[in-house]
A and B are shown apart, each in its own frame.
Chain A
Amino acid sequence: MIVTVVALLTLVAIGVPAALALDPKARHRLLLAEAFLLGCGVIALALFFLSIVGVRWSLVALAIAALSVTAVLSRFARFSSGQRATGNGERIAAWAIDLMTLLIAFGHARFTTLASLGEWDFWAIWGLKARTFFERGGIDWDFLENPANTFTHPDYPLLLPLVMDYLTLARGAWEDQYLGLIFTLFGVSTLLIVRELLERETQRPVIAALGALALTSSVFAARPGIAEGPLAAYITAALLLLRIGWRDGDDVRLRAGAVMLGLAALTKNEGVALLVAVVIASVVFLRARWREVLKLWPALAIAATWLIPRALHQLPTDLFSGPTLSERVLSHLSTLPDLGIALAKHPPAQPVIWLAIVATLVWRARLAARRELFILTAALIQLIFYLGSYIVGPHEFEWHVATSWARLVSQIEIPLAFVAMTLLFADEESDARNIE
């Protein structure tokens, strides 16, 4: 376990220059979270490009590649005086609450390392790919292209398997017990982002600490071994940074959010869908200034690093494949009420959080529409994409919804909960004056 912990700390260290280069205003918790998320991105892309150019993976080769990137980024890293939140009087109480959250994270780390990762999707998809690539010493395109391996979803992006490969390289051999720590750290990153930005938004450390504590069930609900937790971390970072970027005209935060969005697209196909949703939502938000959506280009560039090779290798996706696609769609459309029934039978895993989100959005509808148009539009489009995938998908509604709906909505649960929390504590009148 020591080796894994050291490797994870090294990952964070690799990510610090990237975080400072990308988001010089990031401080404390936000800096730590961004460092981990970007460190994972740097490592994954380094392994990916080593494989593309035909260099067999080794710790030495990876260290050279990653440190080269880090050295370049260090030249652009800047410290700038960040905004310091007030509310010092609440700080001790906030720290006490944060201690509880930390204890929960520690409990999660304990849980994920008690045994070998046992999720079906770990040993049939994510872990299987990581193990196969590690033995090959690089991405095994033959394995991905082999029709016998379509059960591994070869079209899925590779960030998570590549991060697992980094830890495996550090250990020198495959083991699947301490890999669980990755998922704890992705959850912690999500909580750090929420904690930091909530405090900046509300200027109330206790409220921010309670908000992070309230989201521990959502954050740590994702089963370790699958990509939901990592994707939720990148989606949360992307949407909350882009929200600040568009709202405040902050190009630095926009760029940081765009990079996180690109890394979300490298984590799961739902991240690619979110990229599209964000572009549309940005155009809706910007209206006459819609050309500013081009500032999101880093997201497309990062996503393309997987989408282009995927297309070149013709890796199949089961969603849009098959000669019966049009028949499936027509058949599903004719039984649409069954989708509603299935959704009613299988609610989200955190019903209290979702009830609070919906209740707040209804209660503060005017303020939400005025202040959160971008993020709510992006979330709504993403939900439509999820439902659309059921109409296009190869299985019956009941199976699809039962096996995926709770997972899918958990991906956007945190940013929506964040928005609900800020709406709860927003001063509607002063907010309206600020906007005017």
Chain B
Amino acid sequence: MVAGGTQFFFLTLPFRNTSGLARHLQRLPDLDAADYPAFLQEVRKRTQSGDSIAIFFPVRDWNEGYAYAYYRASYFLTGRRVIPLVAPDNSLRLESLRDAQYVAAWGKRLPDQYRAHAPSWEGSGGTLYRSVR
């Protein structure tokens, strides 16, 4: 029991260089979207509590990436109303754009012919659009 139950990894950790492990752990939640957290933090700085922000993400499959984008945005944009544009059944909810003061588009820009929101900031792989109405 002692041999099988002793946690040797943590026993040796204080004596090892942990900078590589720290970098790995910091990136782990966002391996496929490394700049996404930085983008969301900039969106947070440029919006106010109570603002409504729709999330535009290159992945449209809920279980294959959109849920991650929506939940991650909910965490970084607390106090704002985060609006998903994809439903759990993978159907698009583009009509929700009407309710959004902002659109946080990461990894893909909004189509050029879309005019209801205009770019207000760009960086960290994404663009923040603001409603022109």
Interface residues of A (CB under 8 A from B): 100, 103-108, 110-111, 114-116, 118-120, 123-124, 127-128, 131-132, 135-136, 148-149, 151-152, 210, 213-220, 350, 352-353, 356, 417, 421
Contacts and interface: CB of A to CB of B under 8 A. Distances in A.
B21 interface: yes
Nearest to B67: A151
B132 interface: no
Contacts of B111: none
B29 A100 contact: no
A135 to B, nearest CB: 5
A214 B2 contact: yes
Interface residues of B, number: 30
A128 B22 contact: no
Contacts of A149: 74
Interface of B: 1-7, 9-14, 18, 21-23, 25-26, 28-29, 49, 67, 71-72, 74-75, 78-79, 84
B10 A220 contact: yes
Contact of B79 (A123, A132, A215): A132
B29 A120 contact: yes
Contacts of A210: 2
Contacts, number: 106
Contact of A352 (B5, B22, B26): B5
20 contacts: A100-B11, A103-B14, A106-B10, A107-B7, A108-B7, A108-B10, A108-B13, A111-B10, A115-B25, A118-B28, A119-B29, A135-B49, A136-B79, A213-B2, A213-B5, A214-B4, A216-B6, A220-B10, A350-B4, A421-B1
Given A114-B21, A114-B25, A135-B49, A214 B10 contact: no
Contacts of A124: 71, 74-75
Contact of A123 (B3, B18, B23, B29): B29
A356 B1 contact: yes
Given A128-B75, A132-B78, A217-B6, 18 more contacts: A103-B14, A107-B7, A107-B12, A108-B7, A108-B13, A115-B22, A118-B29, A120-B29, A123-B29, A123-B71, A135-B79, A151-B71, A214-B4, A214-B5, A216-B7, A218-B5, A219-B7, A352-B5
Contacts of B29: 118-120, 123
Contacts of B22: 114-115
A104 B11 contact: yes
A218 B10 CA distance: 12
Contacts of A104: 6-7, 10-11
A110 B75 CA distance: 24
Contacts of A135: 49, 78-79
> Which 7 interchain pairs have the tightest Cβ spacing?
A352-B4, A107-B10, A107-B13, A214-B5, A115-B25, A115-B26, A216-B7
A151 B1 CA distance: 39
Contacts of B3: 352
Given A110-B13, A214-B5, A352-B4, A118 B75 contact: no
Nearest to B19: A114
Secondary structure class of chain A's binding surface, majority of residues: helix
Contacts of A151: 67, 71
A217 B79 contact: no
Contact of B14 (A106, A118, A216): A106
Nearest to A116: B26
Nearest to B10: A107
A353 B1 contact: yes
A214 B74 contact: no
A356 B3 CA distance: 12
Contacts of B79: 132, 135-136
A32 to B, nearest CB: 20
Nearest to B30: A118
Contacts of B14: 103, 106-107, 110
Contacts of A128: 71, 74-75, 78
A124 B18 CA distance: 27
Contacts of A123: 29, 71-72, 75
Listed residue (B6, B18, B26, B78) with the most chain A CB atoms within 10 angstroms of its CB: B78
A104 B1 CA distance: 16
A371 B94 CA distance: 63
A265 B102 CA distance: 40
A140 to B, nearest CB: 9
Given A114-B21, A115-B22, A217 B5 contact: yes
B33 to A, nearest CB: 13
Listed residue (A115, A136, A352) with the most chain B CB atoms within 10 angstroms of its CB: A115
